[in-house]
Amino acid sequence: KNPAGAPSTELARPVRKVGVVGAGLMAGQLALVFARKLRVPVVMTDIDQERVDRGVGHVHAQVEKLAARGTLSAEAGEQLKSLVTGSVSKDVYADADFVIEAVFEEMGVKKTVLAELEEIVSPECILATNTSSLSVTEMASDLRHPERLVGFHFFNPVAVMPLVEIVRGPQTTDEVLATAFATARGLGKTAVLVQDAAAFVVNRILLRMMGEVQHSFDSGTPAEVADHALDPMALPMTPFTLLAMVGIPVAQHVTESLNTAFGDERFPVSENLQHLIDAGITSLWSPGGDGQQSIPAETLEVL
Ligand code: 3HC
């Protein structure tokens, strides 16, 4: 069944080569899912060779893990690795059909990347953004061809989470939207069309819940209590564990977008989280493998 708001599948264009701009952890997860599910070449790009090599290396290591676990045959693993390559030049996207950006969550950075891509890609190529919270309308506003931009928002961990939020910009064509839905289907994901509103649907709800837990902690509730208050709801992981998985800076960026849109009352920006970011701390909990969670002394010092 065609999802609500999705144009006729007949309008979808073929996707034979994919680009992933950025070679960070999210970008690597995207590259892997595109190559694995669509079985097409995927090229990752970043600003220097070191980042590119690290990003591609991370994807290849993930493939090796899947092969070692028996999820993939050794041969399928080798094939998959050969599909994911890297480059420092976006010129490799001249013959790409679908290029998704997963760069730093800042409007200026996204706009620069999209403007660069416009100079290179073919007229039929779709540009997608994996933004978690920024306006797709604003992102499209400086493009010469805003009609080919679409929001295509994945969730962590990409390999497992079934949802993709698809965001239609004001000028996105039916062909582009149909291709986005068909691509999501090819990836084995459930796609929903969401409005171009701050942090779309899922993150807006999720960050409200996580923000309340954070607020509770910031107001003096012990972390062990605040983070486990929702345990009877049988969530798959606690809010602070989820925060570490998503990345504290990413969560903070999403909250800032929501704060701009809806104010301090609904989405206060936590100073404590900012202290953690400034100190380079990536999780409230110590990673200790004994199942006992605790906040390390050095973390308490920065709070
Ligand atoms: N990468 C890839 N695969 C992973 C993974 C990871 N980081 N973590 C777990 N998996 C896979 C496992 O390999 C396993 O797959 P298999 O069945 O093929 O072996 C499967 O997920 C289940 O894993 P486990 O049995 O080990 O673990 P759990 O049952 O505890 O599930 C979880 C792990 C799926 C991560 C679960 O805890 C969960 O759903 N957590 C909530 C995740 C969530 O809410 N994500 C949304 C975050 S918001 C976001 O991303 C938006 C962004 O814009 C900020």
| Rounded Cα gap, residues 88 and 45, in angstroms | 5
Cβ(28)–Cβ(58) under 8 Å? yes
In this prediction, residues 114-141 reach a mean pLDDT of: 97
Which amino acid, one-letter code, is at 257? Answer: S
ipTM of predicted assembly, 2 dp = 0.94
Q: Is 297 exposed, middle or buried (0-12, 13-18, 19+ CB in 10 A)?
A: exposed
Q: In this model, does residue 83 exceed pLDDT 90?
A: yes
Give the Cα-Cα-Cα angle 15, 19, 20 (nearest 5 degrees).
130
CATH number of the 9-194 domain: 3.40.50.720
Confidence of residue 268 (pLDDT cuts 50, 70, 90): very high
Q: What is the pTM of this model?
A: 0.94
Q: In this model, does residue 197 exceed pLDDT 70?
A: yes
Confidence of residue 288 (pLDDT cuts 50, 70, 90): low
The one-character DSSP state at 144 is S
Confidence of residue 287 (pLDDT cuts 50, 70, 90): low
Q: What is the CATH class of 202-302?
A: mainly alpha
147-161 pLDDT, tens digit each:
999 999 999 999 999
235-254 pLDDT, tens digit each:
999 999 999 999 999 999 99
Q: Where are the domains of the chain?
A: 9-194, 202-302
37-56 pLDDT, tens digit each:
999 999 999 999 999 999 99
Q: Which two tokens stand for residue 282?
A: 């990536």
Name the helix (H) or strand (E) containing 18: strand 18-21
Q: In this model, does residue 269 exceed pLDDT 80?
A: yes
Nearest to 227 by CA among 242, 240, 246, 237: 240
CA of 62 to the centre of ligand 1 (A): 14
State how beta strands 84-87 and 149-153 pair: unpaired
Catalytic residue status for 153: yes
The residues lining ligand 1, judged by C-beta closer than 6 Å to any ligand atom, are 132, 155-157, 159-161, 203, 206, 236-237, 242, 246, 250, 254
Q: Which phi and psi angles does 96 have, rounded to 5°?
A: -85, 155
Q: Which of 30, 160, 240 to mutate to test the pocket of ligand 1 (most atoms within 8 A of CB)?
A: 160
Residue corresponding to tokens 């920006």: 269
Which amino acid, one-letter code, is at 4? Answer: A
State how beta strands 149-153 and 163-168 pair: antiparallel
Within this chain, domains 9-194 and 202-302 share the same CATH topology: no
Rg (CA), the chain: 20
**Nearest-atom index, ligand 1, CA of 160:** 21
| Rounded Cα gap, residues 44 and 38, in angstroms | 16
pLDDT at 35: 98
Residue nearest to atom 23 of ligand 1 (CA): 160
**Mean pLDDT, the chain, integer:** 95
